[in-house]
Structures are given as structure tokens and as C-alpha cells.
Structure 1
Amino acid sequence: MTESATQLLLNATESGNIPAAARLRLREHSRIFLAGPPGSGKGTQGPFLGKLLEVPHVHIGDLFRSNVAGRTKLGMKAMKHMRRGELVPDEVTLGMVAERLQDPDTQHGFLLDGLPRNLNQAEAVDDLLATTSGKVDAVLNVDISREESFRRLVGRRVCRNDSSHVAHIMYATPHKYGICDVCNGPLYLREDDTRHTIGARWDVWHAQTEPVVRKYGAEGVLIPISGIGTVSDITERAITALNAYFG
């Protein structure tokens, strides 16, 4: 899945057709927003799609962590609000995004994950892109049901040693109860993966983020796909849908 664009095109020449991912790489730019309800797996898909399209996966959570760890001006502003248990103001978040989208690796596109979450942010991001890179090319919405979301998140267990090591009590059962298969670290249920918190996150999604999805649908840039299946199934589904959309 991480095969180079050059090799993909060489393979395409030999076989007489251009693979789906390579075809998308021939575009001048791919500015894509990732959307989807809690537990849809867009955070998992982002890195895979970024490698296939050769554009960076710009995750809002990662931006916060890197700015706070680097003690940047925006990171320090965000930290003040977080320490008080407050939401970080949109202008701080958008400032981080604006700086990130000025980096050279975003010249030919990006996958923006975690923003916009509401209509005000959507308008602000649209304005930001208008001054930097034009406009969003597509919004990929990974859809799952509320019931599936609960099954995925309530059953998820994360390693305390490395949060990228994830198990699941139904779908990826660890060999030893409560122990990470990768590093033998302890597994735990994240606070935001409890039933109460997941329900609250879905309420926020319906009230604030679904209107954003409808906005981009009305503008003709929304690409809905099912989030049910294996990671590779959904990645292939996303690439196929993007190719159909771009033509």
C-alpha cells in the first residue's frame, strides 16, 4: 500500500492500465477533508490514504500536541485554555492549521482530519483556503451507524506504553487479557470511550458536524463511503470513490 508512485506507474505501463491510487497521484493537487462520526475510522484511514496519495495527513490532535510540545506561541495559548478545562478558541486552532498548510509538503494537497467540526469553522476554513491554496477539492465522509460506533469504541483497548497499539475485546482480542500483544504494556479503556462519553460525542456530531456534511453535500464536493469492513477494504473503497468523483 505504500509502494512508490514511480513503481505504480511502471506497473501500470506494463499491465496497460493505471492503478487507482496512481491515477489520483497524477492530479496537480488533492485537498481533501476527512469527515465521519465517532468511531468511523477516519483517523485510521488518514495515514493510509496520505501515503497512497503522497500528501500529508494533517490531524488536528497531532497539531495540538506538536505545538504544545514545541511550546510555540499558539501552543502556549492553547495550553492555557486546556489547563482551565476550556475549549481552545477557533482562532488558535485555525492559526495552527494556517501555519501547517504553509509547509512545503502541502503544496500538492493534504488530508485534513478533525476540522471543521461546525459551520462557523467550515466557513473559516473555506476562507483560509481561499487565501492559501484555493478551495477544498473533496470531502470524504466515512459513515457508520451509532450502534457500530458503540461496539467499536466501547470494546477498544489502548496500550499505556504506546497509544498506537490498539486491541479490541471482540475484533482484535489480545493473546493475554489486558496485555498489549506488541510490547506487553497494560491495556486500558480510554475515558472518552465510555458509553456516556460516546453518546455525548454523537449528540455533538448530530447537532454541530452533520450540518457541515450537508453544507459540503449541497456544494457538490461530498463523497460518502461506508466505514464497514477491514481497514484495507475501506481504503480501497475510498480510492475507488475518489477516482469516480474526480473522473
Structure 2
Amino acid sequence: MKTRMIFLGPPGAGKGSQAKILANKLNIPHISTGDMFRYHIKNNTKLGIEAKKYTDQGQLVPDEVTNGMVKERFNESDVKDGFILDGYPRTPEQALYLESMLNELKMPIDIVLNITSEDEVIIRRITGRRTCPVCGSIYHIDNFPPKVPNICDKDGATLVQRKDDSKETIMKRLEVYNKETYPLIAYYTQTGLLVDVDGNRDLEVITNDVLEILEQK
């Protein structure tokens, strides 16, 4: 199924998990801006060096830097048969840039999936996450616990809770999302591309729901 889609939704709604599952099922790339930032910063690319100036100070990376990374990613051939964008666009301004760029490439977006979730569910999901500091594997104390409590299944390292997985940080992130990213929902509603998906359910149920929506489209 050749589909070009965007995933929207607050942090912790399950966008990343669904995007990975669907990318595998549909055999299309999952384009995560988080992954792009990490790649560029790790490899000290021109865009990565510029982005790091802002991330090191806890500031938002300017649109021109983020847009540049996205444009570079869309020069790769694997996007021609479809893709899932996760974490971008974050603002109506970025959405306008993306629309213009994709129209030039003759690859317009087919659908925008808005994964909704209640704040209490999001907080429970994120505060329960534990990460392996060695291999990067992610667990959850309720939904995906390791075989031995607090120990990574793969390398035996002690799992940690990231600082940005604390309740205080999550509340701040939700506040930023509602202020800066929520207007995207209005933007894509006007385009007729937006479809809401209930993200409070189990992963498998949501995946099946999304696949049905894509079939209908």
C-alpha cells in the first residue's frame, strides 16, 4: 500500500510505536525528526552543528534548520513509494513548507492521522518507561517489563528513567504541545486530510483501526 501520511498527537500518545509497526507492515520508511536530529548531531553535519547550538541551550531548533533536514531526507529514493512522517510538522508554518516541498516533488500527503490520548494515560505511559543506557532498548514497567525487574534483557545493564520522562517534564511538554502544535489539527482539518484515532487503546487494536482507515481511503 503506497501511502504518504503524517502522524500527529501529543507526546506519549503512541505515535512512534504505531509509526514503526505500520512502516514495517506497509514496507515504507518511518521518518522521525527525532532520529534525524540525532543522526545529524552525532555525525557533526552542517545542519547538526547548527541544531546543537539550540538544543544545548534547551531552545527550539529554528524552522529553517528542521526544514533543511526534512528536505535532505526527501532527496532519498526510498520515499517514492510512501512514507510516515512522525514529529514533523510541528507548526502550521512547517506544514506550509512541507506542502510546498511535496507538491514540487509531486508527492502530496494522502492522510493525516491524529492520535488522541488523555493526559492521565500519557503520564502513566511515559513515567513507566525505562531505558537501557547501553543498547537503548525501551521497556515499560506495566506494558513491556523486562524479564528481570529493572534489568535489560539484552545486555544485563540496569535500566534508568530518563529525566524527560518525569511527570513534571511531561506536563511541560503537553503544555508546549497544546500551545504550539495543536493549531496543526485545525490546519489539517481544513484541508480535509485529518482523521482522529483513539490512542487510549492497546497498540494492536489501534494498528488494525489505522489499517482499516487506510483501506477506506
Q: Which amino acid aligns with 1:81?
A: Y
Contact 1:56 1:110 in 2 (8 A): yes
Deviation at 1:229, TM superposition (A): 3.1
Structure number with higher relative contact order (C-alpha < 8 Å, ≥ 6 residues apart): 2
Work out whether 1:172 is the aligned partner of 2:144.
Answer: yes
2:125 to 130, 136, 152: 152
Residue aligning to 1:219: 191
Give the direction of change, closer, same or farther, for the CA distance of 1:145–1:95 in structure 2 (3 Å limit): same
Secondary structure, aligned partner of 2:152? coil
1:124 to 84, 91, 97: 97
- Report which stretch shifted further, 144-153 or 121-130: 121-130
Q: How is 1:1-247 mapped onto 2 (pairs within 5 angstroms)? A: 25=1, 29-163=2-136, 165-244=137-216, 246=217
Query: Matched residues in 2 for 1:95 and 1:105: separation?
Result: 18
TM-score (normalised: structure 2): 0.93
TM-score (normalised: structure 1): 0.82
Q: Which amino acid aligns with 1:182?
A: K
Query: Matched residues in 2 for 1:46 and 1:204: separation?
Result: 22
Give the direction of change, closer, same or farther, for the CA distance of 1:38–1:101 in structure 2 (3 Å limit): same
Q: Which amino acid aligns with 2:80?
A: Q
Query: Matched residues in 2 for 1:156 and 1:68: separation?
Result: 24
Matched-pair identity in %: 37
Q: Which amino acid aligns with 1:234?
A: I
Query: Matched residues in 2 for 1:233 and 1:161: separation?
Result: 32
Contact 2:118 2:200 in 1 (8 A): no
Deviation at 1:98, TM superposition (A): 0.5
Secondary structure, aligned partner of 1:188? coil
Q: Which amino acid aligns with 1:77?
A: E
Question: 1:217-242, CA deviations, whole angstroms, 9 ceiling, x for partnerless residues?
Answer: 12110121111333222211111112
- Report which stretch shifted further, 185-194 or 170-179: 170-179
Q: Which amino acid aligns with 1:136?
A: I
Question: 1:24-72, CA deviations, whole angstroms, 9 ceiling, x for partnerless residues?
Answer: x2xxx42100111111111111121112222110000111111222322
Deviation at 1:95, TM superposition (A): 0.5
- Report which stretch shifted further, 220-229 or 89-98: 220-229
Query: Matched residues in 2 for 1:229 and 1:213: separation?
Result: 21
